[in-house]
Amino acid sequence: MSISQDYTRVAIVTGGAQNIGKAISLRLAADGLDVAVADLPGQIDLLNTVVEEIQRMGRKVVAVAVDVTKENDVKAMVEATVSTLGRLDVMVANAGVGATRVQPVMDADIQDWEKGWDVNIKGVLLCYKYAACQLVKQGNGGRIIGASSICGLRGYAGVGGYCISKAAVRSLTQTTALELREHKITVNAYAPAVIETNMMTTEADKEHGPGFGAKSLLKILDFRTGQPADVANAVSFLASPDSHFITGQTISMNDGVHFS
């Protein structure tokens, strides 16, 4: 059942200037949403490139420089989006960092792990918080979508810090979904397996080709790596009015690597 509205919906996509975030930004624009593309201040050139692509689609778009680990930045991002584009309907808390090296628990560098948690947990939490505040204020429901991972669905040896952070997103998503049900706001997450982006580049990738190191690390050599569009397709549905009966779920796109 399609649910119509008499206004143009607006989405924020963090980490939206490249890789999966770029694919999501472009897909939501193609779906007819106006988009706030948010990324780190150092990514301004990439941000502007995505903005130009969305403008060519005939959609309204704004670039927002944000560090999702800073609460004032996230609050200002939501305020700037509403001020420029008029409202907020969809928050895609996509910004995240991957596992940069194999690090067993016995060798855990807590400061290194905490850097990942800052972005992957705190950053998502802040996006959920300020999106929820705005959506409740508007009173029209909405969609909040977060970036988990197949590593948030089960553990993988050597990348415990990353697994913890993505499992936390899954738990946060369930909790927030329950809290926002009465406001007709759905909260879901996506949990991809290995997606071919420059975040996955390692020394093994350079020697053997894109995705090799990541596939070796996760021991899934018999399965395909995905493309950013594979994630964007799922986010497109979760962001749509047709997904109104789905909340608190973590949907995985993984070519059958893991069944939940």
Q: What pTM does this model have?
A: 0.91
pLDDT of 1 reads: 45
Q: Which listed CATH number (1.10.10.60, 3.30.390.50, 3.40.630.10, 3.40.50.720) goes with 10-251?
A: 3.40.50.720
Cβ pair 88, 115 in contact under 8 A: no
Q: How does pLDDT run across 121-158, given as a tens digit for each residue? A: 999 999 999 999 999 999 999 999 999 999 999 998 99
Helices (H), ranges, the chain: 19-30, 44-56, 71-85, 110-117, 124-138, 160-180, 203-208, 212-218, 228-239
Task: Answer for the pair 78, 88: CB distance below 8 angstroms, yes or no.
Answer: yes
Residues near 87 by beta carbon (within 8 Å), at least 6 away in sequence: 7, 9, 10, 138
Question: Which tokens belong to 211?
Answer: 């995705």
SS3 203: helix
**pLDDT, position 186:** 99
pLDDT at 257 over 90: no
Q: What is the C-alpha to C-alpha distance for residues 145 and 232, in angstroms, rounded to an integer?
A: 12
- Taking the mean position of all CA atoms in its chain, how far away is CA 238? 12
Q: What does the alpha-carbon distance between residue 241 and residue 154 come to, in Å, rounded to a whole number?
A: 30
Residues tagged active-site? 162, 166
- CA–CA separation, 78 and 76 (whole Å): 5
Judged against a pLDDT cut of 70, whether residue 208 lies above it is answered with: no
The reported pLDDT for the residue numbered 207 is 55
Q: How far apart are the first and last CA of the chain?
A: 26
- Record the tokens describing residue 217, joined without a space: 């690390």
Q: Cα–Cα distance between 102 and 99 in angstroms, integer? A: 8
Render pLDDT for 148-160 as a digit per residue (tens, 0 to 9).
Answer: 999 999 998 999 9
